[in-house]
């Protein structure tokens, strides 16, 4: 199974406590916004941020951008009230921190249903060793819609050192990606901390894209252009996709099961990928329009 075509190239974290940032986000070129009530909000500001975010979501038009709210964990003093306040606003997804079991997902799904927000998905931060090892069951949980890699927390728990190639994290990233793809949910790569380093960001975006992630979480609007470009089909990829589809359809019309484009065999599986490429390009164009 593959993840939905809806673009998630750029998924921008916005602190739920900063009114001006919440307003500006409605005009930014991101595919999705994570309105953060957890790490980005100090303990003394969490109650006020929760109320501000609920009011903002009810009154602000964010267009086609996916609205995802990261709540505090159920084991904190804020988690239950976060859910009770946010559920009625019916965001596209509620993002849970440090998910380690399918039961955590089921509990939030039940609360969403009870609040009349059954169309709101549950998303999971995959950021602990236990969570990574349980990725398969978490991805299969009812209501689950997406994984967000919490690479900073994961690196801390694993005790890894920073490497530009992220080799110490690759097995964790791939396990989550496998689980996400097996169950048809979205998979978003972790953040790149050096928000002024465009080249480093580009390399990490391209790595995540080539692995199969749908997009990247971002910590600053300055990172949007790089992520949007990296995770979008290029002009040459769109051209190749069209030619592959045309060649295969012509081959089928002539009673053949394969075609040849640019010296390479084109079969059904290549055509499926080509159609997905064009669908993603169309969806990105619709976002821009």
Number of structural domains, the chain? 2
Give the per-residue pLDDT at 3: 46
Element (H, E) at 265: strand 264-266
Residue environment code for 226-239, b if the CB has 16+ CB neighbours within 10 A, otherwise e: bbbebbbbeeebbe
Same domain, 154 and 20: yes
The CA-CA-CA angle for residues 189, 193, 196, to 5°, reads 120
Determine the average pLDDT of the residues in 152-156: 98
Give the per-residue pLDDT at 181: 97
pLDDT tens by residue, 121-153: 999 999 999 999 999 999 999 999 999 999 999
Contact predicate 127/150, CB 8 Å: yes
- Candidates 176, 156, 155; CA nearest to 166 is 155
Same domain, 220 and 244: no
Domain final residue pick, 209, 230, 251: 230
pLDDT of residue 1 exceeding 60 = no
pLDDT tens by residue, 20-59: 999 999 999 999 999 999 999 999 999 999 999 999 999 9
- Residue 5: inside a domain, yes or no? no
pLDDT tens by residue, 193-236: 999 999 999 999 999 999 999 999 999 999 999 999 999 999 99
Same domain, 110 and 208: yes
Same domain, 184 and 55: yes
- Residue 268: inside a domain, yes or no? yes
Same domain, 136 and 195: yes
Domain final residue pick, 230, 245, 270: 230
CATH number at residue 86: 3.20.20.60
Domain final residue pick, 186, 209, 230: 230
Same domain, 225 and 240: no
Query: How is 41-68 classified by DSSP, letter by letter?
Result: S-GGGHHHHHHHHHHHHHH---TTSEEE
pLDDT of residue 171 exceeding 60 = yes
Same domain, 125 and 202: yes
Same domain, 79 and 131: yes
Give the per-residue pLDDT at 45: 97
Same domain, 79 and 180: yes
Same domain, 42 and 184: yes
Give the per-residue pLDDT at 117: 96
Question: Residue 289's pLDDT band (boundaries 50, 70, 90)?
Answer: low
Give the per-residue pLDDT at 120: 98
- Residue 16: inside a domain, yes or no? yes
> What is the domain range of residue 263?
235-288
Same domain, 220 and 169: yes
Give the per-residue pLDDT at 5: 72
With tokens 């038009």, the residue in question is 61
Same domain, 174 and 261: no
């Amino acid at each position: 199974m593959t993840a939905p075509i809806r673009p998630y190239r750029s998924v921008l974290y916005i602190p739920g406590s900063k009114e001006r940032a919440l307003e500006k986000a409605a005009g930014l070129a991101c595919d999705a916004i994570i309105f953060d009530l957890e790490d980005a909000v100090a303990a003394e500001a969490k109650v006020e941020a929760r109320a501000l975010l609920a009011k903002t979501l009810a009154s602000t038009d964010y267009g086609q951008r996916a609205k995802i709210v990261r709540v505090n964990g159920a084991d904190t003093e804020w988690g239950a009230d976060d859910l009770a306040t946010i559920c009625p606003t019916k965001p596209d997804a509620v993002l849970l921190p440090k998910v380690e079991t399918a039961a955590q997902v089921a509990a939030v799904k039940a609360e969403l249903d009870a609040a009349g927000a059954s169309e709101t998905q549950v998303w999971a931060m995959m950021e602990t060793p236990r969570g990574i090892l349980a990725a398969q069951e978490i991805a299969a949980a009812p209501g689950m819609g997406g994984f967000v890699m919490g690479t900073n927390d994961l690196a801390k728990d694993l005790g890894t050192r920073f490497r530009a190639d992220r080799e110490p994290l690759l097995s964790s990233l791939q396990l989550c990606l496998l689980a996400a793809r097996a169950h048809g949910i979205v998979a978003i790569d972790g953040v790149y901390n050096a928000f002024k380093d465009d080249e480093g960001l580009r390399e990490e975006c391209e790595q995540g894209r080539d692995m199969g992630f749908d997009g990247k979480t971002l910590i600053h609007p300055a990172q949007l252009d790089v992520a949007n470009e990296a995770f979008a089909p290029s002009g040459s990829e769109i051209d190749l996709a069209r030619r592959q589809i045309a060649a295969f359809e012509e081959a089928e019309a002539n009673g053949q099961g394969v075609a040849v484009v640019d010296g390479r065999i084109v079969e059904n599986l290549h055509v499926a990928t080509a159609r997905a490429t064009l669908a993603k390009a169309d969806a990105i164009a619709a976002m821009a329009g």
